[in-house]
Each structure stands twice: as structure tokens, then as C-alpha cells.
Structure 1
Amino acid sequence: MNTELREFLRSRRAKVTPEEAGLPALPGTRRVPGLRREEVAQLAGVSVDYYVRLERGRDVNVSESVLDALARALRLNEVERAHLCTVARPTRRTRALPPQRVRPGLLRALDSMADVPAMLLGRRSDVLATNALAKALYLDFGGGEPKDRNAVRFMFLNPAARELYDDWEANARLAVAHLHMYAGRHPHDPKLAALVGELSVRDPDFRRWWADNDVHLHAHGTKTLHHPVVGEITVAYESLTVDGDPEMSIALHTVEPGSPSEQNLRLLASWDLTEQRSDVAH
């Protein structure tokens, strides 16, 4: 059974009203939020039985034209449509995912960017490596064992994260939606299942937002951080996919030249250098 497809279709159907879909309003109270299954089938031009089998996660050979019709009926954006195509045609992986290897050249590249916070992210938003400034900016993701160094885990399970982000909820929702994109590509990843299980048990916000089945491509944007040492820093981030591994990306953070954020980032770099020298002295 295709659980990802089932849950995604149900969640998107619940978000579209008949009025938004251009359907006439019928008298009486609707028993379900959003569209009914037969209404989605009508809008997509498929039989009700066919759509019901899709939404139940049954193995159905879905054509490109049907996926396009469903995307229009459910008013999906480009990212949601791409996710629908992925979960509708899951990869039949029988072997475990190979471990991700960080090339020495990538580590040297991160370290060479002394004035730019940069980190290397892998599957499930695992933090594979950071340069010194990114480590200082994100409070070293709470430290801990390498297996626990995960951006989503830090977001939900480390109390410092809720103080660090100016709009923690918005950023946390995006982190969950980005993790859902990964789940669509690798629904049978046991490490993903363990991470989602742990976060669902320990944090009610994660559990609720994971059930929403929202998806987001975390490629670029801005965020404001309230750093406990230097104060407010607003950064623009860009995510660049690493050649040779589509599940590995370099996240670069830049600040507006001449802005208070640039001043505070420079102060953070100076503070971090002082801390490093202090550690060496001791």
C-alpha cells in the first residue's frame, strides 16, 4: 500500500473548498472538509472508482495526464505537483541506502568561507559538517553525538531553538514540510522512520504538522535569528546541491552589506575566534 500517496491526496483534498474549485454550492451541511472524492474525480475527469483506489494507496499505473489533471483539481503548486508525481511512482528500493561520504574537498571549501556561515546537509536534514561561523550561528546544533546532529531534531527537541528563531513556528513548519519531501523520495528509509517516530512522540507540534502532509523545497529564503551573544541577525540562505549526490546540499548564509546584521555577524566571528583561542589555552 502506498501510504505517502494516500495521506497526501487526502490532505490536499481537505484543503480545497467547492467554491475554490468552481463547483456549485449544494444545500445542507457537508460532512467532510474540502472536496468529496467524487468531486475530485469529476474535476480530474476520472472515474470515482479509479480515484478511490488512488486515494487508498492501491497500486495503480498513473499516467502523466492523470497526474496533471489531479494537480489542477487539487490546486497544487509546482512543489506539491512534483511531490505528487514522486509518491505516485515510488522507487522500489530493496537495499539500504548507502552511507553519505563527505569529500575532503567539500570540508576544505566550507572552512575557506570564513566570513560566510556554511553547512553541509544530507539526508533527513542531517548536519554532516559546518564551518566555524555556522557552528557559532546555530549554537552547534546543541552539540551531542554525531548521530543526533540533525536540523529538524534540533528545531523541535532543543529548547534553545525556540529562542533562536524570530518566527520559530514558521521555520519549524518549513522544516517539517521539507522532511516530507524527502519522505516522498525515500518512504522506506529506516532512519527517517526512527526520526519521525521520536519527534512525533516527544513533540506535539511536530506530530500535528507532520499529519498535515505539507511539502516545501527548502532552496532559498530569509530568516531572522536572535543570537544569545550578539543579538539579531537576518540572513538570506541559498541551498546548492552537491554534484554527485542529490541528497546532499551546501547551505550558505549571507547578510545585507552595511546592515546591523553584517555588524553582528562580524562580531560573532570575532567572538568565536576568541572562544577558540580560549579553548586552546586551556
Structure 2
Amino acid sequence: METYGDLRRVPGLRREELAMLAGVSASYYARLEQGLSSNASPQVLDAIATALRLNEAERRHLYALAAGSKGRPAGRRAAPERVGEAARQLMQALADVPAVVLGRRSDVLAWSPAGHALFAGHLDFDGPDRPGQRPNMARLVFLDEHTRELYEDWPAKARAVVGTLRAASGRFPHDSALAALIGELSMHSSEFARLWADHKVKSGGAAVYRMRHPLVGAMTVTQQTLLTETGQVLVIATTEAGSPSQAAMTLLVHTAATRPHSAQAPVEEPQLPVLPE
């Protein structure tokens, strides 16, 4: 492996060194960085990814960026996202499971009663039905105190949200609403701005979080993220069978199933016992 012994003010490879490792000229690599060249071959992209030591999710992000640079579509406001039929059917089948469907900008397109109770019981249940006023999971994580308090390890959740938005920005590089969301979060949250500057990318999968719910107390929850064929994301929350966390989740799901879900005045929360972990 090539080494470079001179003193650096910042860590990492210079553009010329990266171009050499990838087997391309420095001028061509500079054009790629600036989006001025849209004909990078898969072999060149593979070489750049190898030189940068990208993981699989980061490689997919690089290929998405390259594909997005091949032409900017005519400027036209995108239609509001709708829940795909397959995702809607799945949500109906998961009526008693905490589940949320997120759009490509992390807008909440739909949630089950249990999903609403777990992630955002302080918000209007019918919010996702109003495209211009939908809750946005990234905004909630960074700008909403209730959501922030749900996660004992909030920084881990924050990193996951930023990684997901980074991947979305690669798949949809010309989405002006997504760019506006990123700009808004950068302006109002220094933590988001710092994490966004790290350029980390996250793909789907499962993550375990310790959550502190105001109704039922502490729970260890696995959040599984599934990508639908329409590019929307289905998040399902589960707990370990037979655990105190499952008992707490069962109590929360029962509460969500028996309370009314109206767009009118908020419902007063019942006083429930806190289950020990």
C-alpha cells in the first residue's frame, strides 16, 4: 500500500493521491467531484470506492451520486408522497404492532395506533393524513424534546437518522424539499450539522435502542427497517419475548388500541404503572 510521509494539516488522502490510487488522472477526478463529468464507468467507481475503503452502504451511496449527476430533471414540484399499496396492506396486517411508514424525506406517511403511541403519542394521530403538515421523523429526533427524551442513547439514534438522510440525498440528489429539510436541520441543530459533516451513510437493518416511554417506563426495543419496492421505509418495533420490555410494550399497545384517535382535542393520558426492567 502506498504511504505518504510528509506532514499533514488534516488527515486523509489528497485529491491527487486518491486519483492515483483509483487509476485516473487528477483532473478527471476533480471533474467527478464537481459533478462536471457524468460518464464514470462502473470500473472507475469501484476503483474509487476501493481507494476510499468504503463499506457496502457507502458504495451504494457513491453509485447513487454518480447516477444522479447524469442529468438534472426539469424543475417541477414533486407530488406529495402516498403510502404504497403493499405497505398499506402490511400496515393493516400489523395493526397491533408498533409500525411506521416513512417517505424518502423521513416524513411519516402512516403509522399504526401502536406506532403512534410509541414514537409520537403527543402528536395528532391524523397528522400523516395531511401532506402539508405531516410529522417528520428527522425533525422529531433533533428538534422535539419529547422524542429526544425517548432514547437513552440519543446520539446513536441521531447518527442513524443522519445516515438515513445521507443515503436518501444520494438516491434523490435533485429533491429540493429534501435539501430544504437538511438546511433547516443544519440551521436549528448544531448536533445535526456536525453529524452531517461526517458524511456517514446508513442502510436498512435492525438497531436496538433503550427507550424511556412516559407511559410505561423503560423498554429495550429493536427497530427493524425494511425498504419497500417504492423506496419508502417501514419501521417495525419489537421486544424480546418474555421480557419486561415485552410486558411494557403489550401494555402500551393495549392502551393505544382502546383510546380514541381523533383529530379533535388531545386525550388525557391514563395513569399506568411503570414496569421494572
Q: TM-score, normalised by structure 2?
A: 0.83
Could you say what secondary structure the match of 2:50 adopts? helix
Q: Name which of structure 1's ranges 188-197 and 270-279 shifts more when overlaid on structure 2.
A: 270-279
1:101 matched to 2:82? The reply is yes
Where does residue 197 of structure 2 map in the other structure?
211
**1:108 Cα deviation after fit:** 5.8
**1:110 Cα deviation after fit:** 2.2
Q: Which of 34, 37, 50 in structure 2 is aligned with 1:59?
A: 37
**1:104 Cα deviation after fit:** 6.9
Where does residue 264 of structure 1 map in the other structure?
248
Q: Higher helix fraction: Structure 1 or Structure 2?
A: 1
**1:275 Cα deviation after fit:** 4.0
Equivalent positions of 1:176-191 (< 5 A) are 176-191=162-177
Could you say what secondary structure the match of 1:256 adopts? coil
Where does residue 126 of structure 1 map in the other structure?
107
Q: Name which of structure 1's ranges 144-153 and 193-202 shifts more when overlaid on structure 2.
A: 144-153
Query: Within 2, Cα distance between the matches of 1:216 and 1:105?
Result: 24
Change beyond 3 A, Cα 1:55–1:109: closer
The one-letter code matched in structure 2 to 1:42 is: M
Q: Which of 148, 154, 168 in structure 2 is aligned with 1:168?
A: 154
The one-letter code matched in structure 2 to 1:261 is: S
The one-letter code matched in structure 1 to 2:3 is: P
Q: Name which of structure 1's ranges 30-39 and 142-151 shifts more when overlaid on structure 2.
A: 142-151
The one-letter code matched in structure 2 to 1:270 is: H
Could you say what secondary structure the match of 2:141 adopts? helix
Q: Can you list the C-alpha shifts for 1:103-161, whole angstroms capped at 9, x where unaligned?
A: 57754642442431111111211101111111110123744954241110100110112
Could you say what secondary structure the match of 1:125 adopts? coil
Query: Within 1, Cα distance between the matches of 2:37 and 2:124?
Result: 43
**1:270 Cα deviation after fit:** 2.8
Q: Which of 72, 88, 94 in structure 2 is aligned with 1:113?
A: 94
Q: Which of 72, 87, 90 in structure 2 is aligned with 1:92?
A: 72
Q: Is the contact made by 1:141 and 1:154 (CA closer than 8 Å) also made in structure 2?
A: no
Q: TM-score, normalised by structure 1?
A: 0.82
Structure 2: give runs of 5+ residues left out of the alignment.
269-277
Q: How many residues align?
A: 256
Where does residue 83 of structure 1 map in the other structure?
61
Query: Within 1, Cα distance between the matches of 2:84 and 2:163?
Result: 28
Change beyond 3 A, Cα 1:117–1:182: same
1:253 matched to 2:232? The reply is no
Q: Is the contact made by 1:142 and 1:154 (CA closer than 8 Å) also made in structure 2?
A: no
Could you say what secondary structure the match of 1:194 adopts? helix
Q: Kindly report the root-mean-square deviation, in angstroms, between the aligned alpha carbons of the 2 structures.
A: 2.5
Change beyond 3 A, Cα 1:116–1:197: same
Q: Which of 205, 208, 233 in structure 2 is aligned with 1:222?
A: 208
Q: State the 4+ residue runs in structure 1 displaced beyond 6 angstroms.
A: none
Where does residue 23 of structure 2 map in the other structure?
45
Where does residue 34 of structure 1 map in the other structure?
12
Structure 1: give runs of 5+ residues left out of the alignment.
1-21
